[in-house]
A and B are shown apart, each in its own frame.
Chain A
Amino acid sequence: MANKEYKTIKEVAGPLMLVEEVENVCFDEIGEILLQNGEKRLCKVLEIDGTNALVQLFEAGFGINPKQSRVKFLGHSMRLNVSEEIIGRTFNGLGRPIDGIPEISAKTSLEIDATTINPIARTYPQEFIQTGISAIDGLNTLVKGQKLPIFSASGLPHKELAAQIARQATVLNKEENFAIVFAAIGITFEEADFFINDFKKTGAIERTVMFINLANDPAIERIATPKMALTAAEYLAFDLDMNVLVILTDITNYADALREVSAAKREIPSRRGYPGYMYTDFASIYERAGRIKDKKGSITMIPILTMPEDDKTHPIPDLTGYITEGQIILNRELYKKNITPPIDVLSSLSRLKDKGIGEKRTREDHSNLLNQLFSSYAIGKNAKELMGILGEDSISELDFKYVQFAEKFEERYLNQGFNENRTIEETLNIGWELLKMLPKSELKRIDYKFIEKYYN
């Protein structure tokens, strides 16, 4: 059945458009706007009230004329065509190829909106991923199927860190490489180019699917981009049995686009003008990571976001932190000291680490060691602060040892650069080496048997 074309566009304002006298149009349905010059643009039904359809444009409103443009509703929600051929390809934010090669021959067409994974169909993620970065492997361990965002801020090297993870990530004792789904959401050309070059250099590009929406592309196109990327990732993971690493950068731009649409709809804003449903919206993206019982593939997600003014309580990092399974926070102070990657281990966290480490997964002493390093480093940093105010003489001998420990910890453990790839054994041994700076009686978080085995 040919879909009816409507010439009844009543209003276009910002990302919204009102079409009147429509029939049989459904909520969430996709429409095509046909411009007078033959160009086609996508839109989606946000609200249907009687015969009025309020639609949201997915592409710029530039050039739409209410009198001459027509709208055709397609009878389904937003979709992405997929087949094995997507691997190695580059698409724009709406899933159209932009690498100059013709469209893929689609095996199937998938709706980009997530359907919820039944919690009882999930497998709990607990397979250790070695990233080769001590601050992550040793202290904030990443596991297969986890969603672990990087909280960055302007001027911090999150792209180097993300590229390092993408380059070095392996499942221990298995020769498995991750397929990478990379979504550039409103980032600059330079930043996107950095990733593409890095993927090319390591050959990862052969197993990468890219969705690129750059800073100069229309902001509203960004709303579909992460969903496109995740739909591709789900296809690779659960239909083609691949282990997929999804990198989404930058979620802050996505949230801003969300705010733009919400403001245009005149919704009551929540904190900082972001819509009240941003938590739910974020969840519909982040919760798509994971593993499913009886399926071989997995989706591990590393979203990157920049914290405005380094503020962790800003709604974007805040809501993200409540949904994701931890966070890796970058720290300006460390970066100024030229410690790279500048991961603030104390405020970083991996919620899934406890079941991903230990005997059979990494090493028996890992959990104890990690707790001890955390608490000793925290004490050391505190003592150092105190020493800064009062001078060296006024802190106790023990505290001074802690200060030295904290300094050495940053220098030896954290500061490994963006190119060193450490095995988990190396990371753990460096931890023990550092702990030897402290008296044995201070190691309260470690079991006797490990102290005997590794400290002596």
Chain B
Amino acid sequence: MSYENVEKGLIVKVAGPLVVAKNMKNTHLYDMVKVGKLGLIGEIIEIHGDKASIQVYENTSGVGPNEEVVCLNSPLSIELGPGLIGNIFDGIGRPLLKLKEKSGDRLQRGIDVNSLDHEKKYDFKPLVKVKDKLKKGAIVGFVDETKSICHKIMLPPNIEGEVLEIKEGSFSVEETIGVLKLEDGSTFNIKLMQKYPVRKQRPILKKLAPNVPLITGQRVIDSLFPIAKGGVAAVPGPFGSGKTIVQHQVAKWADADVIVYIGCGERGNEMTDVLNEFPSIKDPKTNNTLMDKTVLIANTSDMPVAAREASIYTGITIAEYYKDMGFDVALIADSTSRWAEALREMSGRLQEMPGEDGYPAYLGSRLAEFYERAGRVITLNNEETSLTIIGAVSPPGGDISEPVSQATLRIVKVFWGLDSTLAYKRHFPAINWLKSYSLYWGNLKEWFEENISENWGNLRQEIIDILQEEANLEEIVKLVGLSALTEIDKLKLEVAKCIREDFLHQNAFHDVDTFSSLKKQFYMLSIIDSFYKKAKEAVLNFKIKVKDISNITVKEEIGRFKYVENTKVEKTYEEILKKIDSEIKNLYKGV
């Protein structure tokens, strides 16, 4: 590339990822720059007089004063168009596959690659005619991106006008597919691809309150702490508590049309795992592979820290783009703490006055800005869609009193608190049922009662009550022993154990158990409820001992119900209900 006509700055200072250059008067804040002989990619984050501070997205080893800095006069942007799905990008939107072709097994510096494949041709079918007047962001046609995704080609959100020409056929992302006459008389060439700055939210018409659940097939989430489509959730937990598995499970099974998964400062092997596994998993909704609806952003923990800061913006911009096409999108960020740490590191190098724990004072507002880009919305095309964000938080030592967790909890409506003591007992997902909450339940109750069962709300409340009571009773048991409890209390403990082990515990690595449909979840809850009611009757009216009730043989079948395949669920459910009834009745036949 040539940058002959652009003004050039000169480096005066290099300190890790922070570079200061002079002669930068004509640049703008957040403009992209190319730094030094290697042409490292950077972004201007401060301007003082003619000096600009630049955060560099690549390792600055070997860069020194008096090397050139070239300003590209545009903010950090990503190419949006067909070819994003099924691909894996680094934090600033470079496809890792292309990087491997160019630089081998290890990432080299200063490599320029486009986010999208500029050679590949897509079959474009127009949906508009000449003379149509198009509004901002209007859909002009579509290409089939993958088996699952019909990629709508939209006007950029700041362009409107009258169609002068529209083509049909095979095009690359850079070729003109149509011409638009703008209001001021000039023309605009429509392409399959558009560029958009990642730090700026894409415009929408209106935001709505979320009222439909995002079904994840994870029982503790769907039944107890559901998240709404367009909602925001946080998953904080110490290391080893299964954060990543929860995130993977949601990515695999959530009923969203498009999944954007951001590995932000996480393990390299974890990204490899996702890459290996997703193409072989079938999406329950479409029966195509998961990769046909997934975009991956990988900034592993050993990649440059400044690119980590950018990675979540790259991810959410892609997510917004697909949302604008009318898809329900879920964005999963693992982990926002690493992003916050990147912010802290850059802030420290800029010698800003630190806030709590060394984090910059603007941590809270940056986090809020990010999460606020989620929502159930009306797009510019008057379609109702949603963007859901699920962010992992990695609090030091699992202590959520730290700034990142606290700033996150002020924003999110769903809190899935992971608990290391549950993880030690290998109770997974280790979501603590006493601490977690979902503020969407009020909005979603109606949906569940309409679509699954009118009894859903009652069942859910009963489960929560029993679990709460179990915690209280256990305190008593610790003080005075099990024998001091009444038979009814003992029964509650027995039922709570059943809820924990047979319902909440879910094996992500078991072929059947990894995903439970809502119908199955409802059956499971009904079985436990029926057992509780029948047993209660037996205890109260016939003085049957809980010890005897817990020994009935159907208990084992209840425990194994979660492994029953979907085709047999209904039949098994009815059998178990019958058995519960008859076996408990048998206990008091003689009485």
CB-CB < 8 A to A29: which residues of B? 62, 64
A270-B357, A318-B396 known; A367 vs B99 contact (CB < 8 Å): no
Tell yes or no: A323 within 8 A of B by CB: yes
Q: B396: which A residues are within 8 A, CB to CB?
A: 271, 313, 315, 318-319
How long is the Cα–Cα vector from A374 to B399 in the complex, in angstroms?
25
Q: Which residue of A lies closest to B547 (CB)?
A: A396
Determine whether the beta carbon of A284 is less than 8 Å from that of B424. Answer: no
Give A271 to B509 CA distance when docked, in angstroms.
36
Contact with A along B209-235 (1 / 0, CB 8 A): 000000000000000000000000000
- Residues on the A chain within 8 Å of B559, using CB: 444
Q: How far, in Å, is B355 (CB) from chain A's closest CB?
A: 11
**Closest residue to B344 on the A side, CB-wise?**
A276
**Minimum Cβ distance to chain A for residue B315 (Å):** 15
Contact with B along A320-362 (1 / 0, CB 8 A): 0111011100000000000000000011010010110000000
A290, B425: Cα distance in complex, Å: 29
Interface flag for A421 (CB, 8 Å)? no
CA distance A314 to B398 in the complex (A): 11
State in angstroms the CA–CA spacing of A154 and B119 once bound together: 60
Decide if A292 touches B478 in the complex (CB within 8 Å): no
In the complex the two chains form, is A323's CB within 8 Å of B301's CB? yes
Residues of B with C-beta under 8 A to A64: none
Q: Does A121 contact B (CB under 8 A)?
A: yes
**Are A277 and B482 neighbours in the complex by a CB distance under 8 Å?**
no
B483 and A279 contact, CB distance less than 8 A: no
Check if B348 sits within 8 Å of A276, measured CB to CB. Answer: yes
Q: A315-B396, A347-B424, A441-B555 are in contact. Are A28 and B240 (CB under 8 A)?
A: no
Which of A122, A318, A367, A389 is B269 in contact with, Cβ under 8 Å?
Answer: A122
Cβ-defined contact, B302 with A394, below 8 A: no
- Contact indicator B272/A119 (Cβ below 8 Å): yes
The answer on a CB contact under 8 Å between B348 and A51 is no
Contact with B along A433-456 (1 / 0, CB 8 A): 000000001001100000000000
Contact indicator A279/B15 (Cβ below 8 Å): no
Name which residue of chain A comes closest to B64, CB basis: A26
Interface status of A365 (Cβ within 8 A of chain B): no
Most buried by B among A122, A269, A394, A396: A122
The smallest C-beta distance from B425 to any residue of chain A, in angstroms, reads 4
- Across the interface, which residues of B come within 8 angstroms of A121, CB to CB? 100, 104-106
B345 adjacent to A378 (CB under 8 Å): no
A122 to B426, CA, bound (A): 29
Report the separation of the CA atoms of residues A295 and B105 in the bound assembly, to the nearest whole angstrom.
10
Instruction: Tell me the complex Cα distance, A59–B480, Å.
Output: 63
Report whether A119 and B397 are in contact in the complex, using a CB–CB cutoff of 8 Å. Answer: no
Residues of B within 8 A of A283 (CB): 265, 300-302
User: With A27-B60, A47-B15, A323-B301 as given contacts, are A346 and B107 in contact (CB-CB < 8 Å)?
Assistant: no
Establish whether residues A327 and B275, one from each chain, have CB atoms under 8 Å apart when the complex forms. no
Which A357-394 residues have C-beta < 8 A from chain B? 367, 371, 374-375, 378-379, 386, 389-391, 394
Q: Mark B112-123, 1 if CB is under 8 A from A, else 0.
A: 000000000000
Min C-beta distance of B64 to chain A, whole Å: 4
Task: Please give the distance in Å from A112's CB to the nearest CB on chain B.
Answer: 11
Query: CB distance A48 to B64 under 8 Å?
Result: yes
Q: A150 to nearest B CB, angstroms?
A: 15
List 26 A-B pairs, Cβ < 8 Å: A26-B64, A27-B14, A27-B60, A47-B14, A77-B62, A117-B107, A118-B99, A118-B103, A119-B88, A121-B104, A123-B272, A145-B269, A269-B358, A276-B345, A276-B358, A280-B265, A280-B305, A283-B300, A287-B268, A287-B300, A321-B238, A346-B425, A352-B269, A378-B424, A394-B482, A444-B502
Given A48-B65, A120-B97, A375-B426, list of 11 further CB < 8 A pairs?
A: A27-B16, A47-B13, A47-B15, A49-B12, A116-B107, A119-B88, A268-B348, A276-B348, A283-B302, A378-B425, A444-B502
Tell me the A residues contacting B by CB distance below 8 Å.
24-29, 46-51, 76-77, 113-125, 145, 267-271, 276-277, 279-280, 283-284, 287-288, 290, 292-293, 295, 312-315, 318-319, 321-323, 325-327, 346-347, 349, 352, 354-355, 367, 371, 374-375, 378-379, 386, 389-391, 394-396, 441, 444-445
